Amino acid sequence: MQELSATAKVILGMLHHGARSGYEIKQAVDRSTRFFWNASYGRIYPELKRLEELGLVEGTAEATGERARRSFALTATGRDALEGWMRERPAACEMRHEALLKVFFADALPPGERPQRLLDMAAGHREKLAELRAVEAGIPESARASSAVTALRFGIEFNEWVASWCEREAGDHDGT
């Protein structure tokens, strides 16, 4: 069994979760994992096709009226692949954090402009924070115990922590 691609991983997980079509997978990603695991249509559809050829998912045409719609479900093999991957030790988190790179290189700017790099970084995280809080607000009481919500709470507290760290650091660096 070869490695699953990043998009394959989120597809299998989302199909387990209840999504059915490529479109729904994309929607689910945008609502939930987007802040740490994105996926685009341009990969979702080809991946679904490939996963079907590998026998991990099974698609059925669901022609509701004239509109094309393909519904996918995990096969037994697909469920095994998902669980197998879940049990492997996860890879280290990779990030590409442009705001932090600017903090890193801040010395390239005159001293007066340096704290702004930290404030920019804080602002980005505050924005993300607001988005995630809005998502959280839309979740009914009954669904608060799921692992997906744990990840969401992580996102909220993480963004809050980072923003506060940057603001404090920027404060320490200006001379007040």
Partner DNA sequence: AAAATCATGTAATGGGTTACATGATTTA
Partner DNA sequence: TAAATCATGTAACCCATTACATGATTTT
Q: Which residues bind DNA (CB under 7 A)?
A: 3, 5-7, 21-24, 27, 38-43, 45-49, 64-71
Please tell me the distance from the alpha carbon of residue 109 to that of residue 103, in angstroms, as a whole number: 10
Q: Which residue type occupies 65?
A: G
Please tell me the distance from the alpha carbon of residue 148 to that of residue 141, in angstroms, as a whole number: 14
CA 161, 166, 169, 170 torsion-angle sign: negative
Buried b / exposed e across 21-51, counting CB within 10 Å, b at 16+? bbebbbebbeebbbbeeebeeebbbebbeeb
Q: Cβ 4 to DNA, closest distance in Å? A: 8
Q: Which stretch binds a second copy (CB under 8 A): 8-16, 41-49, 51-59, 63-71?
A: 8-16
Between 17 and 70, CB nearer to a second copy: 17
Q: Cβ 22 to a second copy, closest distance in Å? A: 18
CA 114, 120, 123, 129 torsion-angle sign: negative
Q: Cβ 69 to a second copy, closest distance in Å? A: 25
Between 73 and 168, CB nearer to DNA: 73
Please tell me the distance from the alpha carbon of residue 124 to that of residue 121, in angstroms, as a whole number: 5
Residue 5, binding choice from a second copy, DNA, none, Cβ under 5 to 8 Å by partner class: DNA
Interface residue with a second copy among 30, 36, 41, 139 (CB under 8 A) is 36
The residues binding a second copy (CB under 8 A) are 6, 9-10, 13, 16-17, 32-33, 35-38, 82-83, 86-87, 89-109, 113-114, 117-118, 120-121, 124-125, 127-128, 146-148, 150-151, 154, 157-158, 161-162, 165, 169
